Amino acid sequence: MANQGIYVGLDIGTTSIKVIVAEFVQGQMNVIGVGSQRSEGLSRGVIVDIDKAADAIKLAVAQAEDKANVKIEQVVAGVPANLLQIERVSGMIAVGDQSKEIVDGDVQNVAQAALVRSLPPEREILSIQPTEFIVDGFDGIKDPRGMIGVRLEMRGILFTVPKTVLHNTKKAIEKANLRLSTIVVNPLAAGRYALTDGEQDFGTMLIDLGGGQSTAAVIHDHQLKFADVDQEGGEYVTKDISVVLNTSFTEAEKLKRDYGNADSLAASEDETFPVTVVGKTEAVEVSEKYLAEIIEARLTQIFERLNEALDKAHALDLPGGIVITGGVSALPGVIELAQEIFQRPVKRFIPSEMGLRHPSFTQALALVNFAANMSDIDRLVTTVLPTPTTLAAQPEVKASQPEPQPKPKKAAKVSKPQPQPTQQSTENDDQEKKPSMLKRFFGTFFE
């Protein structure tokens, strides 16, 4: 059963920052406040300007505070799966020379033993998820406290991310005068929220089509086993429309939302709509089919790359199939296009919360749900981590009463992590590898 109380989820996305304030009563989530602002200072899911990101977070938080009529002082935040590394870890300690009852301190000590490892200087531990405890050879134990034993072991899954990604996220939250209560990798939280118990158990692929990037994750045995990030998302679809139709980015985004379809075969060539073209005094009529071909070309490219990554991970044969969520998944025809490319059953996940029944809110709601359903053991293990406790241990700073101090120097922009060749490529490489449909639209620009 979920913990009681009020939780605040902070989803820092490339195109928008969302804040969800939810109250949990008897295991039920009741959303009491929502804030959403256009993102600033982010590129491909990573914060590259801490000050701009902090300002956007403040605006979203203020909006949520006004609607919920509560003061927000701490948040549950997620970090993207960019260059995420997942590995199994284990630790063992002697409880005592003779059998004694296992207490909180023993659990913390064995978790600390599992974290003893050498990390590259550019990486940092994000979190650890215990999978089982072993007391004197008896395995499959979820909570060993209160048991009698001499030897205690813990097996778990460790998540590490680039220091740049983690530091910038924490720093932006701190500059927004907020405390970080829990931090989690986004696909893990999304998997626990969007997938059913059976889907998490038998194995399912979850694809989050965001604005700045798309993430494919594999959830099996209720654990995050694999994650891959494609550095393109809905914003790239909008840019394609803007360039091909020679219209503004704002107009292109409106066209995508109002007339867009990811399946060109389902779009009509007879149905047209006016487009405001730069340099022309009169609007130009464009068919829905032509717009759908532009959208389909970019999404096909994204799906094909994710399909290749999932195939290499031997995940495509999992019985749970594919679940798609994220703002881009709201486009008509996305499910049909995904089924054609992945050749697997595909369904769309839409949150059921009143007023938030749109896939773009999945991640923010997932963060709240994750924090509210953390077990006592999960919370106990996280106390030994060097990551979230760095900020959580600081004195509480209320947003309405910041401590008087000289204005700090503006944080230097941190360059984005070097992409992996298997997941990303340079802009020139992407242009050379674009499918024929994209060349049809962009050939004159890339030659």
pLDDT in tens, 208-220: 999 999 999 999 9
State how far the Cα of 47 lies from the Cα of 50, in Å rounded to an integer.
Answer: 6
**Contact of 293 with 264, CB cutoff 8 Å:** yes
Q: Does domain 197-348+426-447 have CATH number 3.30.420.40?
A: yes
Percent share of the chain, pLDDT over 70: 86
Least confident of 240-244, 314-318, 441-445: 441-445
**CATH topology identical between 85-163 and 197-348+426-447:** no
Region 16-39: mean pLDDT is 93
C-alpha distances in Å from residue 1, one per residue of 4, 28, 71, 443: 9, 9, 26, 56
pLDDT at 419: 42
- 38: closest CA among 62, 64, 12? 12
Strands 346-348 vs 322-325: parallel, antiparallel or unpaired: parallel
pLDDT at 437: 54
Is 339 in a helix, a strand, or coil?
helix
Strands 148-149 vs 138-141: parallel, antiparallel or unpaired: unpaired
pLDDT at 379: 92
Region 146-151: mean pLDDT is 93
What is the sign, positive or negative, of the torsion defined by CA atoms of 161, 350, 236, 339?
positive
Q: Quick one: pLDDT band at residue 97, thresholds 50, 70, 90?
A: confident
Least confident of 18-27, 205-214, 263-272, 433-442: 433-442
Region 230-256: mean pLDDT is 96
pLDDT in tens, 278-322: 989 899 999 999 999 999 999 999 999 999 999 999 999 999 999
pLDDT in tens, 327-339: 999 999 999 999 9
DSSP state of 248: -
pLDDT at 447: 35
pLDDT at 438: 53
Is 361 in a helix, a strand, or coil?
helix
State how far the Cα of 442 lies from the Cα of 338, in Å rounded to an integer.
Answer: 23
State how far the Cα of 367 lies from the Cα of 439, in Å rounded to an integer.
Answer: 39
pLDDT in tens, 104-128: 999 999 999 999 887 889 999 999 9
State how far the Cα of 438 lies from the Cα of 300, in Å rounded to an integer.
Answer: 10
Q: Is residue 139's pLDDT more than 70?
A: yes
- Residue 123 forms beta bridges with which residues? 162
Region 353-379: mean pLDDT is 94
Q: Is residue 130's pLDDT more than 60?
A: yes
State how far the Cα of 93 lies from the Cα of 96, in Å rounded to an integer.
Answer: 9
pLDDT at 45: 85
Q: Is residue 431's pLDDT more than 80?
A: no
The residues, any chain, with a CB within 8 Å of residue 231's CB and separated by 6 or more, are 44, 212, 213, 419, 423, 424
- Name which residue leads in pLDDT, 388 or 215: 215
Mean pLDDT of all residues in the chain? Answer: 87
What pTM, to 2 d.p., does this model score?
Answer: 0.84
**Vertex 385 angle, CA 396 and 109, to 5°:** 120
E-strand stretches of 242-396: 272-275, 284-287, 322-325, 346-348
Least confident of 252-261, 358-367, 407-416: 407-416
**Contact of 3 with 374, CB cutoff 8 Å:** yes
Q: Quick one: pLDDT band at residue 8, thresholds 50, 70, 90?
A: very high
CA 118 from centroid of its chain's CA atoms = 27
**Contact of 317 with 323, CB cutoff 8 Å:** no
Q: Quick one: pLDDT band at residue 444, thresholds 50, 70, 90?
A: very low
pLDDT at 408: 44
pLDDT at 99: 79
**Contact of 206 with 8, CB cutoff 8 Å:** no
**Contact of 157 with 144, CB cutoff 8 Å:** no
Topology of the domain comprising 85-163:
Dna Ligase; domain 1 (3.30.1490)
- 227: closest CA among 197, 262, 184, 198? 184
pLDDT at 359: 96
Phi, psi torsion values for 172, nearest 5 degrees: -65, -40
In the chain, where the domains are located: 85-163, 197-348+426-447
Q: Quick one: pLDDT band at residue 441, thresholds 50, 70, 90?
A: low
Alpha helices in 208-282 (DSSP H): 234-245, 249-259
Least confident of 54-58, 119-123, 185-189, 207-211: 119-123
- Residue 151 forms beta bridges with which residues? 94
State how far the Cα of 208 lies from the Cα of 358, in Å rounded to an integer.
Answer: 13
pLDDT at 426: 38
Q: Is residue 70's pLDDT more than 60?
A: yes
